[in-house]
Amino acid sequence: MRIRKVGVVGSGVMGGAIAALTASAGVPVVLLDIPAGADEKDRNAPVKRGLDRAMKARPAAFMDARRAALIELGNIEDDLGKLAECDWIVEAIVERLEPKQALYAKLDDLRGPETIITSNTSGIPMAQLTAGRSEGFRRHFFGTHFFNPPRYLHLLELIPTPETDPEAIAAVEWFGQRILGKGTVHAKDVPAFIGNRIGGYAMREAIRLMEELDLTIDEVDTLTGPLVGRPRSATFRTADLAGLDVMLLVSQDMARTHGSSHALPSWIEALVARGDLGEKTGAGCYKREGRGEILTLNWKTLEYGPRQEVRSPELDALRRLPLEQRLKGVTELPGAYGAFARKLATHVAHFTLSNAEEIAYDIPSIDRAMEWGWAWELGPFRQMDALGLDTLRAAFHAEGLAEPALLSQAGERFYTKDAAGTQVLGLDGVYRALAPRAGVLSLADVREAGGMVQESRSASLLDLGDGVLLLEFHTKMNAIDDDIVAALESATDIATRGGWAGLVIGNEDPQAFSAGANIALMLEAARSGNLAAIDAASRRFQQANLGLRYAPFPVVAAVAGLALGGGAEVALHADQVVAAGEAYIGLVEVGVGLIPAGGGCKELLFRFTQELQPYIEADPFEAARRAFMLIGLGTTSSSAIDARTLGFLRPADRITMNRDYLLADAKAAVLSLARDYIAPIPPTITALGRDALGNLRAAVWTMREAGQISEHDALIGNELAYVLAAGDGPPRTVREKDLLDLEREAFTRLAATEKTQQRLEHMLATGKPLRN
């Protein structure tokens, strides 16, 4: 079974977002919704509103808004037949059994013999959904539960029925993993499946404990967010994103089947009744006001007020610790905060242990569901290991909770390591080897297998096997310092002398390939007037990047998350970039009063000029203008697809939608290039000199006169223009070295200015740019 076209029925928040993700991946989509009522002339008005909502969604639902052209719109009365062309149809309509069953009856009549039909239900059992359907329908039907927002939350729960054809599951699983970039978990067909069963309980218990201990929404979100390895959305912002109406429906279903402890409090019912459903209505537990101001709900009065920042010396101290220590430390806080954290951790652990066998096939599936679907840094069993199983046993006893059988079967940990590798407790009480995930290259496994070649303060060089090395940065946000530059030099030297097949530059950091240079070191040198050190550091970084470009072996950059400033410059000098779908690439140095000086200006000008060379009638100034706009505005791609449009990625660079496969794909790219690799010949281009300089400086002057930029912005813009024009002389042939010298000299001049130093200080202090 091969999926080439996807149908989505329902253009609400989830349906529209699923369609946006699928179209972003380059797959044609048919998106249908109910027809408009008699008061609207356009029968497709509802689905058009749904697509418009997806187009305007923040965070963006599309990786590239132009991919919306791949979505064909219609309604289920006039256009249902269009779904017959689809290989996979996803139902994402209202979360009620009867409308879903009515739709399936119609789909049963038009589906092809191999058409796969799935439901995005949040928890309605599959057995109820397929009642009365044909055998062929039932064999090609199962649950595919996406998490909101689908583009950003990794989890896709697959919920087969006893009748589901394994080939249908395999087809969607492969498509979900490789094309949509999802992490898939098989869940049992029970209400709320895995993620929402545990995550929903954790949210409801946090709400109950908030009421019991008389805490506020702001306090609970502080105690259930990044402090304990959960997302910034914590409890109540997550509720708003999911939709309070959806949460209420799921909780009501759970309360009917599993008891009143799963019910939500009356004040949430009141919010839903008055139409405050969360993000989709602009108000829920939080409310957006005017110019982006966020107000917090007082759950006692149902009125909104200013958000309150929750700080204490104990909380501030905890935030600086590693996650495993934070998980323990938060339960030891004094007063209501500690009581809340202890009770919540204890009750969630007990609930997970008691429900594990009912909802999942193994412990890793539960951990992955919570890590991928609810963005917990550690799944519940890994959290229990971090807290200590004996500590949990004592906490259960203190709370009057019986010890679950699964905990009784465990030793000191659920996950253990020995010479043979990692073992995990099975739900049958037997420890087994943790099965490796196919296509996923784990650097932890490489290290455990003795793959460390060289290690320094800021970087590690690893042997990936098959003659491929990997250079990993491991500073904060993988910021580039002198030790990383030395590691780039050393990796190039080791690979050359050792005859290695090639080099991957990458990591497993969920946030950044590299967020740029360590500006604290740069500011220190600038404040002390040591401009020679700044020039020398820039020169060394430039030469390290050129070393990558002209090495006698292929270099592949595996880029995921932020690749900013110097991080982008490293990637730009690789023979090939393999980028995760969520790759945010940009030369952003203007934000701290500088311009790129690791080869970024040179690389974009050369790249864009070479792209124009086949076209005799092309205006050569376009290359300089394009580079000037990207660098001068500090443009950062919103995705890997956008990075290709902007020019940070070339047509030959590859996009891997699933970050889990990134390193393995980068290694494969090295081996593919290595078969007949020849290092590139240093190029030359014609720089336009004063002709380009005049045009670019005129643009700077216009923006300054219009009050769009400051005087210092204008100085930066003029320096950048001088570099991209290669001076103010006549057009001339330039080498890479000529541009590198110019960008380095401009960088050093700017670093010497007081206003650039102020920008550097402000960025270090606040994490935000200063426009002085």
pLDDT tens for each residue of 61-91: 999 999 999 999 999 999 999 999 999 999 9
pLDDT digits (tens, 9 = 90+) for 128-152: 999 999 999 999 999 999 998 999 9
**Whole-number pLDDT of residue 241:** 85
- The closest alpha carbon to 236, from 212, 271, 260, 192, belongs to 271
pLDDT digits (tens, 9 = 90+) for 683-699: 999 999 999 999 999 99
**Whole-number pLDDT of residue 554:** 98
Q: What is the CA radius of gyration of the chain?
A: 28
pLDDT digits (tens, 9 = 90+) for 538-552: 999 999 999 999 999
Calculate mean pLDDT across residues 161-176: 97
The two three-digit tokens of residue 12, written as one number: 């609400």
The C-alpha atoms of residue 633 and residue 143 are separated, in whole angstroms, by 45
**Kind of pairing between the strands at 512-514 and 502-505:** unpaired
Q: Is 91 a catalytic residue?
A: no
The C-alpha atoms of residue 738 and residue 735 are separated, in whole angstroms, by 5
Long-range interactions of 415-419: CB distance < 8 A, separation 24+: 415/381, 415/382, 415/385
The two three-digit tokens of residue 110, written as one number: 């038009």
**Whole-number pLDDT of residue 420:** 79
Average pLDDT across the chain, whole number: 95
Q: If you ran DSSP here, which 8-state letter would residue 176 be given?
A: I
Percentage of the chain surpassing pLDDT 70?
100
Handedness of CA 564, 566, 572, 575 (dihedral sign): negative
Residues 91, 371, 472, 569: which is the catalytic one?
569
Residue 490: enclosing H or E segment and its boundaries? helix 482-498
Task: Please check the confidence at residue 290 and state whether its pLDDT lies above 80.
Answer: no
pLDDT tier at 519 (50, 70, 90 boundaries)?
A: very high
Task: Please check the confidence at residue 250 and state whether its pLDDT lies above 90.
Answer: no
Q: Is 472 a catalytic residue?
A: no
Task: Please check the confidence at residue 261 and state whether its pLDDT lies above 70.
Answer: no
Percentage of the chain surpassing pLDDT 90?
91
Residues 205, 589, 603, 736: which is the catalytic one?
589
**Whole-number pLDDT of residue 551:** 98
pTM for the predicted model, two decimal places: 0.94
Calculate mean pLDDT across residues 313-334: 94
The C-alpha atoms of residue 88 and residue 325 are separated, in whole angstroms, by 45
pLDDT digits (tens, 9 = 90+) for 299-317: 999 999 999 999 899 999 9
Calculate mean pLDDT across residues 481-489: 97
Residues 240-271 as b/e (b if ≥16 CB within 10 A, e otherwise) read bbbbbbbbbbbbebbeeebeeebbbeeebeeb
The two three-digit tokens of residue 664, written as one number: 């393995």
Residues 679-699 as b/e (b if ≥16 CB within 10 A, e otherwise) read eeeeeebebbbebbbebbbeb
Calculate mean pLDDT across residues 20-46: 95
**Whole-number pLDDT of residue 524:** 94
Calculate mean pLDDT across residues 54-60: 94
Task: Please check the confidence at residue 253 and state whether its pLDDT lies above 70.
Answer: yes
The two three-digit tokens of residue 86, written as one number: 């689809």
For residues 99 and 124, which has the higher predicted lDDT (pLDDT)?
99
pLDDT digits (tens, 9 = 90+) for 628-666: 999 999 999 999 999 999 999 999 999 999 999 999 999
Q: If you ran DSSP here, which 8-state letter would residue 96 be given?
A: -
**Whole-number pLDDT of residue 262:** 74
pLDDT tier at 56 (50, 70, 90 boundaries)?
A: very high
